Amino acid sequence: MDQETQSDAVQTAVEAIADRLSVEKQYLTELDSAIGDADHGANMDRGFRTALERVEETDGDPAELVKTAGVALVSEVGGASGPLYGGSLMKASQELEDGITAETTVAFAERYLETVEERGKASVGDKTMVDALTPAVHTYKKSIEVDDCEPIEALGRAVDAARRGVEFTTPIHAKKGRASYLGWRSVGHQDPGATSTLYLLEELLDVATEYVDGEVVIDAEADEVPEPDAEDVPADGGE
Amino acid sequence: MVGIVVVSHSERAAAGIREVAREMGGDARIEAVGGTEDGRIGTTPGPIREAIEAVADDGGVVVLVDLGSAVMNAELAIEETAVDAVVADAPVLEGALNATVAATAPSATVESVREAAEDAHDVSKV
């Protein structure tokens, strides 16, 4: 997949996430009303709408576009989600400087998780986005590096792992974030940050699948149609 | 002089804490930042960085924060500025009061002001 197609894939992913969050906005806010400050849906929706506008205005390689989205989230989200989602994208974008390959996406995922853990000082079991993210990142890495999966299959397994992680947040007691102030009253509620993390991963899987299967004809503009060999690139680990 | 920045989710809370702290350390350089740029409850790193830069001179800056996202956004703001600034692990109002008094000492450093702020952890109220 050439650089232009990769950049286009990043933009499509940001757009897909922005669309998904606008659909899920109310549900995320309902989850956050139960155990937080009831702003997660609105914050994520506003953040990704701004990220999409900025990404559309930017003409850059995939790393620059991901960084641009991160900067927009940091300035627009206005809560812990700004530094957690945006700051982590900014840091992890450095791993995509050589383009999007199986190897760079594993590094990207690990860097993203590491930044979230450092910034939020949260671990698995604290009832946060880390509960969805950790199994997803570990599963992705293992599927590629140990099981030799194609990146799409690895990402599919990662999404399943994140979904189980989200389910795991419901019966546990929050130890980080606003929900931790509720103590035992947080038990029985699904974590909004873990949930939105799952939505991001689901949309990434959808967009990656479209691009890798070579089904995408972008905006009907002939000069942006993926190269005929586009589907081979992520699978063999790079260009 | 060491500068002080008070960060709260609420603009009025931040301003009120600055008001209380100023009563004790009138000469200190202290800025209050609260709420998001569009007036909601929350914090964003941009205005925190501007406040750090506004109170900074040669002495560096100590930042007092309230809840979780204020800590994360203050840390991001510090990473984005060249100013020598630290977040104090202290209750925001008592910490701001201690820091403001400590900052007016002629020998004050970022470390001494941060320690004074963090001493507020040990204050027993009743």
pLDDT, tens digit, 9 for 90 and up, residues B96-125: 999 999 999 999 999 999 999 999 998 888
Do A82 and B73 make contact, defined as CB atoms within 8 angstroms?
yes
B121 as an active site residue: the answer is no
Query: Looking at the partner chain, which of A78, A87, A176 has a beta carbon nearest the beta carbon of B42?
Result: A78
Q: Measured between CB atoms, does A83 come within 8 Å of chain B?
A: yes
CB neighbour class for B125 (10 Å; exposed up to 12, middle 13-18, buried from 19): exposed
Taking the Cβ of residue A120 and every Cβ of chain B, the question of whether any pair is shorter than 8 Å is answered with yes
- Look at A178 and B68 and tell me if their CB atoms are within 8 Å: yes
Do A80 and B68 lie within an 8 Å CB cutoff?
yes
Identity of the residue numbered A32 = D
Determine the residue among A32, A37, A126 to mutate to test chain B binding: the one whose Cβ has the most chain B Cβ atoms within 10 Å: A37
User: Which chain B residues are within 8 Å of A84, Cβ to Cβ?
Assistant: 72
Distance from CA of A145 to the nearest CA of B (A): 33
pLDDT tens figures, A112-140: 999 999 999 999 999 999 999 999 999 99
Q: Which two tokens stand for residue A216?
A: 């995408």
The tens-digit pLDDT sequence of chain A (239 residues) is 889 999 999 999 999 999 999 999 999 999 999 999 899 999 999 999 999 999 999 999 999 999 999 999 999 987 899 999 999 999 999 999 999 999 999 999 999 999 999 999 999 999 999 999 999 999 999 999 999 999 999 999 999 999 999 999 999 999 999 999 999 999 999 999 999 999 999 999 999 999 987 655 444 444 433 444 434 444 443 33
Q: Is A87 on the interface with B (CB under 8 A)?
A: yes
- Looking at residue A214, its pLDDT comes to 64
pLDDT (tens digit per residue) in B36-64: 888 889 999 999 999 999 999 889 999 99
In the set B1, B2, B8, B9, the catalytic residue is: B9
* pLDDT value at residue B24: 87
Q: What is the DSSP string of A67-90?
A: HHHHHHHHHHS-STHIIIIIIHHH
Residue A220's pLDDT is 41
User: B-side interface with A, Cβ within 8 Å?
Assistant: 36-38, 40-46, 67-69, 72-73, 75-76
Top pLDDT among A237 and B9 is at B9
Nearest CA in chain A to B79: A87
Give me chain A's average pLDDT, please: 90
Residue B43 corresponds to which tokens in the numbers above?
A: 């914090």
Average pLDDT over all residues of chain B: 94
Strands B3-8 and B29-34: parallel
Q: Is B60 helix (H, G, I), strand (E, B) or coil?
A: coil
Interface touch A84/B72, C-beta < 8 Å: yes
C-alpha B42/C-alpha B13 separation (Å) is 12
**Inter-residue contact A123 to A130 (CB < 8 Å):** yes
Q: Are B99 and B64 in contact (CB under 8 A)?
A: yes
Query: pTM (2 decimals)?
Result: 0.87
**Distance between CA atoms of B92 and A158, rounded to whole angstroms?**
40
